[in-house]
């Protein structure tokens, strides 16, 4: 599997507000997947944001490995999967990061303002693509 940096066409695909699924590891070892929003930041890390009460936050604390698959809005046959490791978990005190994600995906700040949120940053170890994102 290729390692970062991401080629320009793959980075451009991941810059779009694509549907995505993240996988974490449950403390008993089985995989858990859930649909999620994401952003690839300028430093190449992936930003995720979670409700502080979600089980997947506990999964990430116990097993900091993450896989994220983003599917092209135009055709899910074109998709990119990144695998990496959590390098930062911080409180999103002023909901800045969830607002960035919500604006990216829906054009407006996140509407739920009364629940604590946590920002998670993932450093990409390797990736692979399919369809238009496939690398030889």
- pLDDT at position 136: 67
Provide the pLDDT confidence category of residue 66 given band limits of 50, 70 and 90: very high
φ, ψ of residue 132 in degrees (nearest 5)? -65, -15
What pLDDT digit, counting tens, does each position of 7-43 carry?
Answer: 999 999 999 999 999 999 998 999 999 999 999 999 9
- pLDDT at position 132: 84
Superfamily of domain 8-131: Electron Transport, Fmn-binding Protein; Chain A (2.30.110.10)
Domain range annotation of the chain: 8-131
């Amino acid at each position: 599997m290729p390692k970062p940096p991401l080629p320009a066409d793959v980075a451009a695909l991941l810059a779009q507000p694509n549907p995505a699924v993240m996988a974490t590891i449950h403390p008993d070892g089985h995989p858990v997947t859930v649909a999620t929003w994401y952003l690839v930041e300028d430093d190449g890390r992936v930003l995720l944001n979670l409700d502080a009460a979600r089980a997947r936050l506990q999964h990430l604390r116990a097993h900091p490995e993450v896989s994220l698959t983003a599917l092209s809005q135009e055709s899910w046959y074109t998709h990119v999967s990144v695998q990496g490791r959590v390098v930062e978990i911080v409180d999103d005190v002023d909901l800045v990061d969830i607002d960035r994600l919500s604006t990216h995906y829906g054009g407006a700040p996140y509407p739920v303002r009364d629940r604590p949120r946590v920002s998670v940053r993932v450093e990409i170890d390797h990736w692979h693509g399919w369809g238009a994102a496939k690398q030889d």
